[in-house]
Structure 1
Amino acid sequence: MAASLKSVDQLTMTFLVDNCIEWFTKLPPGFSLEIKTHLQENHMRVDKLTDTPILDFDKFCCGAHGFAALIETEMEGEPRQYTLFDTGPDNTSLVRNIRAMQTPVEKITRVVHSHWHSDHTGGLLSFLDFRQNHPSSADAAPCIIDVHPDRPVARGMASGPTYTKVIARLKEDPSFESIEKFGAKVEKNAEGHSVANGTVWVSGEVPRVTDFESEGLKGHMRWKDGQWVSEPHIMDERYAAIDVVGKGLVIVSACSHAGIINVVKSAVDKFHRPIYMIIGGLHLAGNDMFPRVQPTAEFLSRTLRPSPTYVLPMHCSGFQAKLALEKELGDGCVPAGVGIKFDVTGDRGHDARLSAASYK
């Protein structure tokens, strides 16, 4: 096992921003729906007339086109670490959902941004403002904001079939200066590195090695030297990995511009561990991505060995990808969404029997 990533005994993850809300779906052991979390942790106001908890929808999570997940990691005998991975698209959804889930913002000491797209960075400044002014944060340490150094001036989207005319640009990402105004510290990292006391790995740039993912994503544009230029590969995107002892790697890939198979291969080549769970946006939505859906599902279910126990297709994965993954993986394809929480408990007695992941 590489020394750059320590194995954890406990992983808890809470999805604080996602496109979808799932209240009634069947989930595997260890997963909790939002309403169950509120009932178990006494988040809900009790009606005085009937002595029954009230479903107050103003106090529940909302969906939004973006992604954010709270990653809690713990090794036996060590303090629990709290890492926020991405911050959603806007100034309202993340803060609202943090309030709903009663997230301990003062304990979040690092925010990792997967890449410079505003549906993943748009909630950062409102989060920092909320954290700074929250009563529990009076003695909290400054928050570290972990970003790729190559922040674009602007990014936009061009439409097919020629992909030459930009139809819209994304909202500006937070500047380094605006982040520091909230007392946060910016860390610029283009290379892979471990955070959270060595329990979370943040990748560097992901190698593009899979044939059907090699061309990147058509229509992605970047403003450079006074003009729009094609940028199909979005090389600043990074994934996160956590190694749960006795289970294997949990991969969080917020948007998978590199291609989720490239992400998986990168993690396997780096750590030589089985993949237990794959989480996040798989970027398989839309007509251009449709040809990748079945090869992706077949790689994860038939080529990767051992195949992942769970795949959680979220954010930009698309309906067709969810259908294909459910067909291949059955209950291993988990319909996750905002407000869902899960726990993975390690097993040190079992870890010695785990086989390293492999693929051909």
Structure 2
Amino acid sequence: MIALQVLFYVILAMILLIIIFLLVKLLQLKSGKKRTAEKMDNIPVKKIPSLGTVDKLTVIPLVDYYTDNEELRTEAGVSYLIEVNDRRILMDTGLNKNREHPSPLLHNLHALGYSEKDIDLIFISHLHLDHVGGKKEEKNASFSISQGPVDLPKIPVYAPVPLKPSAWNPGPEVHVIEEPTRLDRGIASIGIIPRYLFLLGETLEHSLAVNVAGKGIVIIVGCGHQGIENILERTGSLFDEPIYGLIGGLHFPVNGGRMNIGPLNLQHIVASDDPPWKGLDEKKVEQTIIAIKNKGIKKIALSAHDSSDWSLDRFQNAFQDSYLPLKVGKKIII
């Protein structure tokens, strides 16, 4: 009888702690949304003059969830090798969940015939573990290519928040970008779009925009925490050219996800700026598809690292021939 009473009070205490936790997070969410809205209003957004164009854009996924090549490694993270203007941009550095050397990123880079010395510029979309090389990197505000020595040259890194290279790859120099900024001929950051997420708090993310001659702007996105409507609106305000393509993660772990603990879909819980019981659902996916179609976007490739197979199928069915599979090692050429 005493044991049952103890168990009852333990369960009751746990329920009370959960209620308190949720109440605290709801209060933080309310104030956080207000702060990020103010920050958004204070970011200068002006047209980027004389952006220029690139003749061709090639995106090679180095890290993502799926591949058709058994020699390549996959994980629920992101890294893309982007080829433009005879230059190579590394966008994000994956997850490296097992803290390996070579990491999935480095292994795939070499397996596809490239070297780390081929990289001319690094673009970090945001400071989350699946984009900077792991949880330790996120905690320390750093990024790593692998968990062993990687001889990177002294190249620029463009990030939305202050961070530093890992001790394993100390060469690059970090530049923090908040405002929309031209990075090279035909290449720009659309600037940070702040968003306050229910569990993760304030998230500052920016995306890459590439102006392909004769076609228009192709947006390359890390996770899409900014919200697709915000990304499209910001991009439209920066350039006269139409938005031609959208490549990358949009964070739709609906009816499934890539990071689970038992029945809990962690990506679904952390992905939204609403409480989990009001968060992402099928309706939001359909609204996003409509928003993209209304912009007349010609090419779309959705990352599987943060979107479920259900969401991938909905996008593929909605966009048909305009949909491009995004898989490790498979070139996307525009």
Q: Answer yes or no: same fold by TM over 0.5.
A: yes
The equivalent of 1:226 in structure 2 is: none
Q: 1:4 to 1:83 in 2, by over 3 A?
A: farther
Deviation at 1:70, TM superposition (A): 0.9
- Identity among equivalent positions (%) equals 27
The equivalent of 2:58 in structure 1 is: 12
Residues 145, 169 of structure 2: 8 Å contact kept: no
How big is each residue's C-alpha offset from its partner over 1:74-128, in whole Å with a ceiling of 9 and x where there is no partner?
A: 2xxxxx1111110101241101111111124222121110000010001742359
Map 1:48-197 → 2, pairs under 5 A:
57=70, 60-74=71-85, 80-90=86-96, 91=100, 92-122=103-133, 124-127=143-146, 131-132=150-151, 141-150=153-162, 176=164, 178=166, 182-195=170-183, 197=184
Residues 95, 129 of structure 2: 8 Å contact kept: yes
The equivalent of 2:186 in structure 1 is: 199
Deviation at 1:61, TM superposition (A): 1.3
Residues 11, 244 of structure 1: 8 Å contact kept: yes
Deviation at 1:183, TM superposition (A): 2.3
Deviation at 1:129, TM superposition (A): 5.8
Deviation at 1:181, TM superposition (A): 6.7
Q: Which runs of 5+ in 2 are unaligned?
A: 1-46, 135-142, 255-267, 269-278
| Helix, strand or coil at the partner of 1:63 | coil
**How far apart in 2 are the matches of 1:177 and 1:241?**
24
AA of the residue aligned to 1:277: G
**How far apart in 2 are the matches of 1:146 and 1:325?**
30
The counterpart of 1:289, out of the listed 264, 280, 283, is 280
Residues 57, 82 of structure 2: 8 Å contact kept: yes
The equivalent of 1:45 in structure 2 is: none
**How far apart in 1 are the matches of 2:212 and 2:105?**
27
How big is each residue's C-alpha offset from its partner over 1:224-265, in whole Å with a ceiling of 9 and x where there is no partner?
A: xxxxxxx1x51x201001010111111111100011221122
* 1:219 and 2:219 aligned: no
Q: 1:181 to 1:62 in 2, by over 3 A?
A: closer
- The alignment covers a number of residue pairs equal to 250
**How far apart in 2 are the matches of 1:177 and 1:16?**
19
Residues 149, 168 of structure 2: 8 Å contact kept: no
How big is each residue's C-alpha offset from its partner over 1:130-150, in whole Å with a ceiling of 9 and x where there is no partner?
A: 541xxxx7xxx4122222235
**How far apart in 2 are the matches of 1:129 and 1:3?**
41
AA of the residue aligned to 1:114: S
The equivalent of 1:322 in structure 2 is: 312
Root-mean-square deviation (Å)? 2.4
| Helix, strand or coil at the partner of 2:280 | helix
Q: TM-score, normalised by structure 1?
A: 0.64
**How far apart in 2 are the matches of 1:279 and 1:10?**
15
Map 1:239-318 → 2, pairs under 5 A:
239-286=207-254, 288-290=279-281, 291-301=283-293, 303-304=294-295, 307-314=296-303, 315-318=305-308
* 1:333 and 2:333 aligned: no
Deviation at 1:207, TM superposition (A): 6.9
Q: TM-score, normalised by structure 2?
A: 0.68
Residues 322, 333 of structure 1: 8 Å contact kept: no
AA of the residue aligned to 2:61: F
Q: 1:128 to 1:239 in 2, by over 3 A?
A: farther
Q: 1:270 to 1:218 in 2, by over 3 A?
A: same
How big is each residue's C-alpha offset from its partner over 1:298-332, in whole Å with a ceiling of 9 and x where there is no partner?
A: 1112x22xx11111110212223222222321121
| Helix, strand or coil at the partner of 2:57 | strand
Residues 59, 81 of structure 2: 8 Å contact kept: yes
Q: 1:179 to 1:3 in 2, by over 3 A?
A: farther
Residues 310, 332 of structure 1: 8 Å contact kept: yes
Residues 144, 186 of structure 1: 8 Å contact kept: yes
**How far apart in 2 are the matches of 1:281 and 1:187?**
23
Structure showing greater relative contact order (alpha-carbon pairs closer than 8 Å, 6 or more residues apart): 1
Residues 106, 131 of structure 1: 8 Å contact kept: no
**How far apart in 2 are the matches of 1:12 and 1:99?**
17
